Structure 1
Amino acid sequence: MSLPVTPVLSVVPTRGLMDETFKVLVENLPPVFPVTIHSLHQSENQGHWEAYAYYMSDHRGKVSVSDDLSFGGTYTGKEPMGLLWSMRPVPGSPEGLRLRKVNVCTPMLVNISVYSGHDGFRKLAPLASVLTERWYLAPGVQRIDIREKGVIGTLFIPPVLPKSGPGPFPGLLDLWGGGGGLFEYRAALLASRGYVALALQYLTNGELQFVALELLDYFETAFNIIKHHPQVMPDRVGIFGLSLGSIMTIYLAAESTVIKPRCCVCVSGTHAFPHGKILSEIYQEFGDKVRLDKNNYQIWRGIGLAILSDPTKKVDVMKINCPMLLVNGHDDQNWSSTESAEDINHMMRAEGKEHLLTRLEYPDTGHLIEPPFSPHFRATKFIMNTRKEKTILLWGGQTKPHADAQEHSWRNILTFLQQHLYGSPNSKL
Structure 2
Amino acid sequence: MIGCFSLRRGALRSVYFTTRQVQLSTMSQTIPPILSVLPTRALVDEKFKVLVENLPAGSPVTLHSLHHSEDKDYWEAYAHYISDHRGTVSVAEDLSFGGTYAGIEPMGLLWSMRPVPGSQKGRRLRKTDVHSPMLVNISVYSGHIAEGFREQPPLASALTERWYMAPGVRRIDIREKGVRGTLFIPPGPGPFPGLMDMWGIGGGLIERRSALLASHGYVSLALEYFSPGELKSAELEFKYFEAAFNIVKDHPQVIPDRVGIFGISLGATFTMYLAAESTIIKPWCCVCVNGGHFYPRGETLSAFYKMIMRNSHKVRVDENDHQIWRDVTLPITSDLSRKVDVRKINCPVLLVSGHDDQNIPAVESAEDVAQMMHTAGKDHLLTRLHYPDTGHVIEPPYSPHFRATNFIIESTKAKAILLMGGQTKPHSDAQEDSWRKILAFLQQHLYSTSSPKAKMMIT
TM range (shorter): over 0.9
1:114 aligns with 140
Shift of 1:385: 1.9
Partner residue of 1:143 out of 171, 176, 183: 171
1:276 matched to 2:300? The reply is yes
Distance 1:366 1:293, change over 3 A: same
1-structure distance, mates of 2:63, 2:446? 41
Tell me the amino acid that sits aligned with residue 237 of structure 2.
Answer: L
1:126 aligns with 2:149: no
Matched, 1:354 2:394: no
**1:28-67 to 2 correspondences below 5 Å:** 28-67=54-93
Partner residue in 1 for 2:390: 365
Separation of aligned partners in 2, 1:65 and 1:209: 50
**In the superposition, relative to structure 1, how do residues 211 and 57 fare at CA in structure 2: closer, same or farther (>3 Å)?**
farther
Is the CA contact 1:188–1:197 (under 8 Å) kept in the aligned structure 2?
Answer: yes
Deviation at 1:306, TM superposition (A): 3.8
Q: Which amino acid aligns with 1:350?
A: T
Within 1, Cα distance between the matches of 2:155 and 2:453? 54
* Cα offset, 1:124, TM superposition: 1.5
- Alignment correspondent of 1:382: 407
Write out per-residue CA displacement over residues 213-248 of structure 1, whole angstroms, 9 at most, x where no aligned residue.
711100000000000000000000000000000000
Amino acid aligned to 1:330: H
CA contact (8 A) 1:307 1:313 kept: no
Asked whether 1:185 is paired with 2:196, we answer no
The CA distance in 2 between the partners of 1:184 and 1:216, in whole Å, is: 22
**What code does the residue aligned with 2:89 have?**
V
- Checking the alignment, whether the CA contact within 8 Å between 2:53 and 2:88 is kept in structure 1 is yes
Aligned to 1:176: 199
Maintained 8 Å contact 1:289/1:303? yes
Change (3 A) 1:15 1:58: same
Gaps in structure 2 of 5+ consecutive residues: 1-23, 455-459
Task: Give the Å deviation of 1:208.
Answer: 5.5
Q: Give the aligned residue type for 1:86.
A: S
**SS of aligned partner of 1:284:** helix
Distance 2:226 2:94 in 1: 45
- Structure 1 residues 313 and 386: CA distance shift in structure 2, 3 A: closer
- Cα distance, 1:377 vs structure 2: 1.1
Aligned to 2:338: 313
Retained in 2: the 8 A contact 1:203–1:209?
yes
> Secondary structure of 1:214's match?
helix
In the other structure, the counterpart of 2:281 is 259
* Residue from 179, 182, 194 that aligns with 1:154: 182
Contact 2:49 2:91 (8 Å CA) reproduced: yes
Deviation sequence 1:100-152 (CA, Å, 0-9, x none): 10000000000000001123451321000001100000000000000001000
Equivalent AA in structure 1 for residue 257 of structure 2? D
In structure 2, the residue matched to 1:295 is: 320
Amino acid at match of 1:393: L
Residue type matched to 1:368 in 2? V
The 3-state SS of whatever aligns with 1:218 is: helix
Aligned residues between the structures: 422
Question: Following the alignment from structure 2 to structure 1, what is the Cα–Cα distance between the partners of residues 339 and 401?
Answer: 30
Change (3 A) 1:426 1:135: closer
The CA distance in 2 between the partners of 1:208 and 1:262, in whole Å, is: 30
Q: Are 2:444 and 2:451, in contact at CA under 8 Å, matched by a contact in 1?
A: no
Q: Which residue of 2 aligns with 1:163?
A: none
The alpha-carbon deviation at position 383 of structure 1 amounts to 1.5
CA contact (8 A) 2:174 2:181 kept: yes
Distance 1:310 1:302 in 2: 18
Q: What's the counterpart of residue 105 of structure 1?
A: 131
How large is the Cα RMSD of the aligned pairs? 1.7
Q: Describe the shift of the 1:203–1:366 C-alpha distance in structure 2 as closer, same or farther (beyond 3 A).
A: farther
Mapped partners of 1:208, 1:236: distance in 2: 32
Contact 1:202–1:208 (Cα < 8 Å) also in 2: no
SS at match of 1:78: coil
Name the counterpart of 2:118: 92
**Aligned 8 A contact 1:280 1:384 in 2:** no
Shift in Å, 1:276: 1.8
Report the Cα offset of residue 425 of structure 1: 5.8
User: 5 Å matches for 1:195-344?
Assistant: 195-204=218-227, 207=228, 210=231, 214-274=236-296, 275-278=299-302, 280-306=305-331, 308=333, 310-344=335-369
Contact 1:36 1:55 in 2 (8 A): yes
- Report the alpha carbon displacement of residue 309 of structure 1 after superposing the two structures with TM: 5.6
CA positional deviation for 1:334: 0.6
CA–CA distance in structure 2, aligned partners of residues 313 and 241 of structure 1:
20
Alpha-carbon distance between aligned partners in 1 of 2:208 and 2:412, rounded to the nearest angstrom: 27
* Residues 284 and 453 in structure 2, CA contact (< 8 A), matched pair in contact too: no
2:246 partner amino acid? N
Deviation, structure 1 residue 69: 0.4
CA offsets 1:286-342 (integer angstroms, 9 cap, x no match): 111111111111111101224546543121111000000000011111111111111
